[in-house]
A and B are shown apart, each in its own frame.
Chain A
Amino acid sequence: MEELTFTTLIAVFEEMFGRWLFWGMVVAAVAVTLLYVYVLIRDHSVSWRKFLLAQLAMPVGAVAAVIFVFAVTDSGLGDMGGPIDVIVLLGVAAAGAVGAAILVYTVQSLVAPPARET
C-alpha cells in the first residue's frame, strides 16, 4: 500500500476511463478551477446570490457523479455491501456536488460580472 505511486494511479485512471476521456476530464477540472480562482480574485469577494444558485446545483452534481460511476462500473445502488461502500459512494457524490457548485458559480461570474449586477 505504501508503494502506490503517482504514476501507478495515473495509469489506473487512464485505464478506467480511457486515455482521452480521463485527460479531458483532468483538463476540464483544472480549467474550471483556474477560472473559479480567477473570478474570485477579479471580483475581490464572493457573490452570495451566485453562491445560492451554485448550492442548488450541488444535488444535481452529486446524483450525476454517482450515475456516472455506476454506468462505468456495471453496478448500482443495490450493490452497496458494507460501510466502506457507502463511504466511497458518499465521496463520489460529494466530489460531484462540489464540482457542480464550482462550475455553476464560475459560469455565472463569467457571464454576469459584478458590475452588471443590479
Chain B
Amino acid sequence: MTDSRDFTASRRAFLGLAAGAGALALAGQGGPARAQLRTNAHIVILGAGAAGTALANRLAARLEGARITIVDGRAQHWYQPGFTLIAAGLKPADYSVSTTTEWLPDGVELKPEYAAEIDPEAKTVGLAGGETLSYDYLVVAPGLVLDWDAVEGFSLDMVGENGIGAVYAGPDYAAKTWAAMDRFTDEGGEAVFFRPATEMKCAGAPLKYTFLTDDYARRKGTRGATKITYAAHSGSLFAVPIVNEKVRMLYDERGFDVHYDHVLKSLDPGRKVLTFDTPEGATEIPFDFTNVIPPMRAPEVVRQSGLSWADRWVDQGWVEVDQHTLRHRRYPEVFAAGDVAGVPKGKTAASVKWQVPVVEEHLVAQIAGDTTDASYNGYTSCPLITRVGRAMLIEFDYNNDLVPSFPGVIAPLQELWISWLMKEVALKATYNAMLRGMA
C-alpha cells in the first residue's frame, strides 16, 4: 500500500507544479477541523505578526466562548520573506505590506498598542497606554528587535546612500537597498556582506543577497570589476554542516572571498570602511556596497519579564521554552512562538508554520484538562536563492538533518528553477493562507 500512497503524493506534487510545490514547502499540519471546545478562558497573544495572527485565527476556530486578546502597536503587517525580492528589484516595496487588522478574525480583540510589562507571577500584561490585562494563558509572539545601535557609526537614515543597504530594516529600506545595489552593480567595486553573531531571522538571507549581488554584476558585465567578500561570524557560512559545505563550494565557484570569525563592530560611512572584531583583533575591510545586518534580540518587555533563559543567549533574551512543546519551562500557562522563542533553530515563517499548530494543540489540550503528543521538531525551510531564476530548497530540523518535502523530486542541495518559482510566486500566498489559519 505504501507504493500507491507514494504515487499519489508524487503525482499530487507534480500536478501542483510550482504553485502547489511552494505551498508544500511551507506546509505542515492542516487547518483546524475538530469540534469546538467550550471555555471561558482569557487568552492574551502578544504580537500580531505571523505567529500571533495565525494562532489567533486557529484558536478562534477551535474554542467557543474564549476571550482572545491580541496586543500589537504596529498597524502594518509585513511579509518579511518578501524583503529579499524587494531588495533584488523584483517586487515593489508595497509587495510586503498589508494591515494588521485585515488578517484578524471576528471575535478577537486587538489592542493597538505595545505591551509595556509582563508579570508571569500575577498573570498580567501591562499595556503602554496604562491598561492592565489579566490572562489565563499567554502566548508570547512579539517577534524580535533589530539592534541597530549596536553597529557603531551606523544609523538607518544612511540606507540607500554611499552604498549602504539594510534589507532587514523594512520594505522601504529594502527598496532603498536595491537602489544602492543597482547603482553599485552598474560600475563595480568592493561589496562586503556579513551576518551578526546573535541568533537571527532567516540565516540564509545574508547568503542569498551575496549571490544576488554577484548575479546582477554578471548580468551587467561588471563582475570583472567587482570584488565580493563574505565575512562569516563563526567558523562556517551556515550552521547546518551539509548546507555549509554546499554553500562553501558555490561561494568558491562564484569567486567570493570568504573570511571567518568576523563580527561587525562599526561602520565608517565617510571612509567607507567596515571594522570587524576577529580573534586577531580589529580588522578593517573597505566597501563600496554592503548590507548591514545588526545583532538581534528579544524585545525589552520580554527581557524584563523574567521569561527569558537565564543561562543561554543571555545577551539576547529569548523566551525559555521547551524546544518541542514551546511551553514555558517555569510557567506552564505561557507559550512562545516565532522569532522570540528560545529554541535552537527556526526564526523563519516556515518555522512559524510548524510551531503554531503545536502551540495550538498544547493550549487546547491544557484547557480541556488533557495532554497531547504534538511536538515541534525544529523544522525550518529556506529557499536559498543563488541567482535570479534559481534557488536551492533547504529544509532541516534540530538535528541538522535535511528533511526534504519532496524526496526524489526536488533535490535539496541542487540549484533549481522550481525552487525559485516557489520563492517568487507561491510562498506569499501560502503565507497568507497560514495567517488565516488555513494552512
Contacts and interface: CB of A to CB of B under 8 A. Distances in A.
A14 interface: yes
A91 B17 contact: yes
B29 interface: yes
Contacts of A82: 411, 414, 416
B429 A7 contact: no
A78 B415 CA distance: 12
Report whether over half of chain A's contact residues are helix, strand or loop; otherwise say mixed. Answer: helix
A8 B17 contact: no
Interface residues on B, range: 35 or more
Given A5-B30, A8-B433, A12-B23, A75 B425 contact: no
B313 interface: no
Given A1-B12, A4-B12, A81-B416, A73 B424 contact: yes
B19 A3 contact: no
Interface stretch (B60-68, B228-236, B402-410): B402-410
A17 to B, nearest CB: 9
B9 A2 contact: yes
B23 A84 contact: no
Contacts of A11: 429-430, 432-433, 438
B410 A8 contact: no
A85 interface: yes
B20 A73 contact: no
Contacts of B424: 73-75
Given A82-B416, A84-B416, A12 B430 contact: yes
B17 A88 contact: yes
Interface in A14-61: 14-16
B27 A80 contact: no
A115 interface: no
Contact of B389 (A3, A4, A8, A74): A74
A111 interface: no
B405 A84 contact: no
A75 to B, nearest CB: 4
Contacts of A85: 416-418
A37 B216 CA distance: 49
A39 to B, nearest CB: 28
B113 to A, nearest CB: 31
Contacts of B388: 74-75
B19 A9 contact: yes
A44 B19 CA distance: 38
Nearest to B432: A11
A13 B428 CA distance: 11
A69 B362 CA distance: 43
A79 B385 CA distance: 12
Given A4-B27, A74-B389, A12 B417 contact: no
A88 B422 CA distance: 13
B417 A79 contact: yes
A84 B409 contact: yes
Contacts of A89: 417
B429 A16 contact: yes
A89 B417 CA distance: 10
A81 B23 contact: no
B379 to A, nearest CB: 13
B438 A8 contact: yes
B390 A81 contact: yes
A87 B22 CA distance: 16
Contacts of A87: 14
A48 B416 CA distance: 41
A16 B425 contact: yes
5 contacts: A8-B23, A16-B425, A79-B387, A84-B410, A87-B14
